[in-house]
Amino acid sequence: MKKINLEQELGFIQSAEPNNLLKAIMKKRLSPKGEKALIKRGLTDISMFYIKAYGLSPISKIEVFKSNNPLLVSALLENATPETLEIFLTHGEYNSVMRYLKRNDVPNYHERDLIWSKDEAKILSYMEHHRLSPFAKLDIIMRKKDTLIQKLIVKNKLNEREKLAIMRFGSYESVMLLIKVQTTVKEADRLRQMKLIRFGSDKQIENFIRHQRFKAEVEEFFYQYGTFSALVNYFKHYMIEGGQDILLKRNERNEILNYLSKHWLCEESEKLLLKRGIHSEIKAYIKKHYFHDEQEVKFIQRGKHREIMLYLTVHSLNDKAQMELLYRRNQEEIMYYISHYPLADEAVEVLNKCGTDAAWDLWMQNPLGEEKEEFTISPKLKKKKHHSSPTHDFLRQSAAWQKLAPY
């Protein structure tokens, strides 16, 4: 890598093709900010190579522990120095740190026996005369002992991670005490919004959403801990890009299934739905909605026979998806499709190569896919010349408009 300034280095790290990035770092170590950018980019294999080749600066280690990438965390802890362990205790994800502590003797956490003893009187006495380490404070909060949490608020200066933990796990009384004792005016407003998300009624939250948007730093909290229905309304009201992805990632099964049965996803969210590959979710979605063209092709390429057959009972396929269906050479799927729907010209050529004699004979008997009395063809519009009509033109325009709206 030729000599470049920091701005150029960061730009290269963020945009370079992985192979080019790997070649560059094989020749030269990155700056600390460059290392941090590399970790943030999320290329695990390249980051692993870099850690083994050079190690990481302290600020980059913080980024690894915050990201909680298991492979990178394990690589850093494999031969951890006291400094690295201190960073891990201060910035690591709680459950990840606890697993490590239970397997290893970590002298940096000298309050461990006391905190884990669950003797509240002894812990309160210790807190009266000693300053707790960062992880000891977090450990107390995560154990949800309200008396200890309130003592912690009164006796200690808490950092952002500790305050957020109280907002997640503390009682209403502890949260109110935190806002009263440990916040500036600006920070108090942010924490009050979090308090509303955690303890407010659906009606109170809906009223807030109608009049204002949550502060940027509060939105992430809302995405994780807000109610599903409030999130749906919030994403609709403020047209938030990627909102559907956030809903899918929350893993609230019944609410997700209900949502998928009622809402057409944007193309990116369909991509995530297929990547998740959860049958119940895909089933709920395809019973009511068809995929965008590219995702429909990928749906057929996944090759899940039961899901494909369910889809075909409700929807026809776009031209490329038809061809993929025929390439599968699943004769049950082929016979069903050509019994119900017309084929594009390119698909007819594929049928000639991939279909059985019986399938070709059936197609020749009904080459335009004319509707039969016992079948109901889905109103889904496909781009075929023989489907063109004023009604279909109107549906085409409607579908195009819907693609612009994320919900």
Split into its structural domains, the chain has a count of 3
State whether 277 and 297 are in the same domain: yes
Token digits of residue 376 = 């109901």
Last residue of a domain, one of 182, 200, 228: 182
Q: Coil, strand, or helix at residue 400?
A: helix
Higher pLDDT residue, 251 or 124? Answer: 124
Token digits of residue 80 = 């951890």
State whether 172 and 42 are in the same domain: no
Across the range 274-281, mean pLDDT stands at 94
Across the range 171-177, mean pLDDT stands at 96
State whether 62 and 167 are in the same domain: no
Output the pLDDT for position 364: 85
Q: Please, which residues have CB within 8 angstroms of residue 85's CB and are 6 or more apart in sequence? A: 77, 106, 108
Across the range 342-353, mean pLDDT stands at 91
Identity of the amino acid at 57: S
Q: Which of 37, 407, 40, 63 is nearest to 246 (CA)?
A: 407
Q: Nearest 5 degrees, angle CA 345-CA 347-CA 351?
A: 120
State whether 380 and 243 are in the same domain: yes
- Rounded Cα gap, residues 39 and 61, in angstroms: 9
- Rounded Cα gap, residues 74 and 3, in angstroms: 32
State whether 263 and 157 are in the same domain: no
- Has residue 32 been placed in a domain? yes
Identity of the amino acid at 20: N
- Rounded Cα gap, residues 123 and 208, in angstroms: 40
- Say yes or no to pLDDT of 76 above 60: yes
Last residue of a domain, one of 74, 103, 132: 103
Q: Whole-number mean pLDDT of the chain?
A: 86
Cβ distance 25 to 50 under 8 Å? yes
State whether 82 and 177 are in the same domain: no
Q: Which residue has the tokens 């690591």?
A: 92
Cβ distance 293 to 318 under 8 Å? yes
State whether 127 and 67 are in the same domain: no
Q: Which of 367, 366, 334 is nearest to 351 (CA)?
A: 334
State whether 377 and 348 are in the same domain: yes
Q: Name which of 257-261, 320-324, 364-368 the model is least confident about.
A: 364-368
Q: How many residues does the chain have?
A: 407
State whether 169 and 269 are in the same domain: no
- The residue range of the domain holding 344 is 239-404
Q: Nearest 5 degrees, angle CA 360-CA 364-CA 366?
A: 120
Identity of the amino acid at 336: Y
State whether 330 and 365 are in the same domain: yes
- Has residue 72 been placed in a domain? yes
- Say yes or no to pLDDT of 393 above 90: no
Across the range 119-148, mean pLDDT stands at 93
pTM attached to this predicted model: 0.68
State whether 284 and 387 are in the same domain: yes
Q: Identify the band that residue 367 occupies on the pLDDT scale cut at 50, 70 and 90.
A: low
Cβ distance 175 to 199 under 8 Å? yes
- Say yes or no to pLDDT of 80 above 60: yes
- Has residue 292 been placed in a domain? yes
CB atoms within 10 A of CB 259: 22
- Say yes or no to pLDDT of 322 above 90: yes
State whether 243 and 383 are in the same domain: yes
Q: Which residue has the tokens 């959860």?
A: 278
- Has residue 208 been placed in a domain? no
DSSP track, 347-390: HHHHHHHHS-HHHHHHHHHSTT----TT----------GGG--H
- Has residue 193 been placed in a domain? no
- Has residue 212 been placed in a domain? no
Last residue of a domain, one of 138, 162, 182: 182
pLDDT in tens, 206-256: 999 999 999 988 999 999 888 888 999 999 899 888 889 998 888 788 989
- Say yes or no to pLDDT of 330 above 90: yes
- Has residue 69 been placed in a domain? yes
| Residue/partner pairs of 69-76 with CB below 8 Å, 24 or more apart | 69/42, 69/44, 70/96, 71/44, 72/39, 72/44, 72/47, 72/48, 75/48, 75/51, 76/51
Q: Coil, strand, or helix at residue 18?
A: helix
Q: Which of 17, 84, 27 is nearest to 50 (CA)?
A: 27
- Say yes or no to pLDDT of 49 above 70: yes
- Has residue 133 been placed in a domain? yes
